[in-house]
Structure 1
């Protein structure tokens, strides 16, 4: 059983707290009765949370045995952080515990010195303040989350869901993360160039654009162009681009590149195919281009990704 300690500070954001608790509490893993044990911990057993007052059953000492500590955002990021909270976080970090923040929770990690020299993110409204107050942090306001190994940060609100799904995938694999996403009624991937490890769902809707996307996903090995997609969809390239941006937020070719990388992720997770074969199977003209695009979208090179999700003993075909 993996123990998750969720740190509830005064004025904790209820949405952030709810995400951290609910997503992990509902994870289902075949053969494991209770994959996660979720404990809500606080310095004081009663904390404010927006319109609510929360009574917590666990104190900071419960963080000592946690595998993961999650710090949800708080309403006032300028609020001084208790020395006891800072000490508990530093102690957890020193023993190798995975520590993650949601939204303005990054300010708590920063106050504990856990983000110094690291890349991090927070809600875009607070990104400039985080960078100004803590100049040793490389603040990136353009991503949903940042994974530095044992220290992770996410942007605001629903980006906490992206981060939690990412951690579930790291712990139990892509299929479990996909099941958790469906249960939460949330997309597995939010496009836009974010570095995410979340599995890309198959397109099943019956709209013309979704049918075109399904066809493209089934023909990724082909040299697909904007003109090819427009012809297959029986529309002009201008109309195709407009509809793609309206429904996905990205251009057809941006979506296509991401679809190819997501397919490559699945092949890296489930097969022993060589990197060269996978690059060809998903439609990249060269291995060099494949490695560059994969690294830019996923945030790690293909071989490292395979080791993480298949294990170091994974066999690779020549």
Structure 2
């Protein structure tokens, strides 16, 4: 039997505390091979749940000792996520990681793992409102601005109000396969028939750029191979991080890190289309921390892999050139060029 320890800190959203019981309880009921114990473990100072639902006073049958033999430790978000966690929490999380336990965080729970130093040098994500904040406070983390569930070694992080559901289904899929996870998901959810085109249009909208950030955009695109951070970009733009983020969203529809990711993916597509250099080298030239990071983001935003993209262009008979070839970069429907509108208006 696998033990799932849910670490309840004061101000944790109530739905993030109850979701593990729903997911793993449903899996156990419908699939005899799935055996889980879900423990609610109270951190020191636990009093009540937090937003978005009304606060509820709660107690938990276990304390931090409940993490000692867990197979998975799940850390929900909490109120005051920038503050130091209660005494003993960081030590308990480090001890769990040291013995090989899988450790997951949902939303602002990522800040708790970051405070323990467990995500240094790794990829991670958090809710979109806190992506820039996480990158600023913890520059050693490779923050994924578009991630839903990000897995790096034994660590899982998730964004969004349903991030806890995503993480639990991910763990279930790892343990018992996609079929069990899929059937459990269908038991719990009624699909929402949202207008996907409208959502994509909102996320990827193209807004004419102002001269105010144009030099910084050109600089970023010229320095993609460097490990640019949010403070680096703000320094170049000679503004604060908060002001930089507002200006980027106003003029590109994206945050600075999202814009940087899109630019790197566009450069990777250009190199794949116009050169025959190895994918590993493409990743480095485009500024990705590893070939695995390139493949992850490439699939997330284009629905295919770098190698498949290259094969498709070769089959279409395109000629290869040197890495500094002048062919226009390929644009997938999921990854629009934020400069396209300016070019069309200039004709």
TM over 0.5: yes
Per-residue CA distance 1:143-168 (angstroms, 9 max, x = gap):
11100121110013113222221111
**How many equivalent pairs are there?**
211
Per-residue CA distance 1:110-161 (angstroms, 9 max, x = gap):
0001110011000011111111111111111211110012111001311322
Per-residue CA distance 1:25-50 (angstroms, 9 max, x = gap):
22136443x61100000134853103
- Distance of 1:294 and 1:101 partners within structure 2: 19
In the superposition, relative to structure 1, how do residues 160 and 30 fare at CA in structure 2: closer, same or farther (>3 Å)?
closer
- Distance of 2:60 and 2:147 partners within structure 1: 32
- Distance of 2:74 and 2:115 partners within structure 1: 15
Report the counterpart of residue 245 of structure 1 in structure 2.
197
C-alpha contact (below 8 Å) 2:44/2:87 kept by paired residues: no
In the superposition, relative to structure 1, how do residues 89 and 20 fare at CA in structure 2: closer, same or farther (>3 Å)?
same
Query: Which is worse superposed, 19-28 or 7-16?
Result: 19-28
Among 96, 115, 118, the residue aligned to 1:92? 96
Matches within 5 A, 1:25-64: 25-28=25-28, 30-32=31-33, 35-44=35-44, 46-50=46-50, 51-64=55-68
- Distance of 1:30 and 1:152 partners within structure 2: 24
- Distance of 1:65 and 1:244 partners within structure 2: 43
- TM-score, structure 1 length as denominator? 0.59
Matches within 5 A, 1:164-183: 164-183=168-187
Structure 2: runs of 5+ lacking an equivalent: 202-277, 279-293, 306-347
- The runs of 4+ residues in structure 1 deviating greater than 3 Å are 28-31, 292-296, 298-301
Structure 1: runs of 5+ lacking an equivalent: 192-242, 251-287, 302-318
Matches within 5 A, 1:123-142: 123-142=127-146
C-alpha contact (below 8 Å) 1:103/1:154 kept by paired residues: yes
Secondary structure of the residue that 1:27 maps to in structure 2?
A: helix
Among 104, 108, 111, the residue aligned to 1:104? 108
Secondary structure of the residue that 1:52 maps to in structure 2?
A: coil
